[in-house]
Amino acid sequence: MVKPRPITELIALGQRYVADKLPIETHRSYPIPVKTAGRLEVAFLYCISALRADSGLHLLAPGWIGHLDAETGELAGFSPITPADLGQPHRPRQEIGIYDMYRGVASAEEFLAARARLYQCYDLLLPHAFGASILLPNAAELARAEFPRLFERVAEEGLLPYYKHVGKAFFSWLG
């Protein structure tokens, strides 16, 4: 069984490794579990964003993708991408939506609680991700059922088709 690092650590590393490679206004996606050459990795999408006082955080189509080895936390790859590379119809640097963290929740507290539970689900699922066994420990099975609903509530709506493309195998594994 894979022994991945805690998801909060992988998120921090996903930001730290690329901080000097990207503009300061870059937004990092949630982690996307992927299997590459037999290894469990988490991918991150990076897109330019603009915070507007009257309307929130506007996201442009992702321009970069990074991969971290989920066990070691090491940067496994980082490269520029276009929306077409990820099967999406947007033009490079086209606005794809506004990140409204209140879209699926009633308050900041509810958003933070949902995100914290999502992170717990990542930690419960990653050791089993892509495994052939359909039998998971009870806590992981609950996380498997809960993850899609939580993800839809907290993830950036404009990035959802990108998540589904990059994480197709993971979302399929979730069922």
3-state secondary structure (DSSP) of residue 80: strand
Q: What is the dihedral of CA 60, 62, 64, 66, to 10 degrees?
A: 130
Give me 133's structure tokens.
């066994």
pTM of the model: 0.94
Write the CB contacts of 43 (distance below 8 Å, at least 6 apart in sequence): 31, 32, 33, 34, 65, 66, 67, 166, 167
88-101 pLDDT, tens per residue?
Answer: 999 999 999 999 87
16-59 pLDDT, tens per residue?
Answer: 999 999 999 999 999 999 999 989 999 999 999 999 888 889 99
pLDDT grade, residue 133 (50/70/90)? low
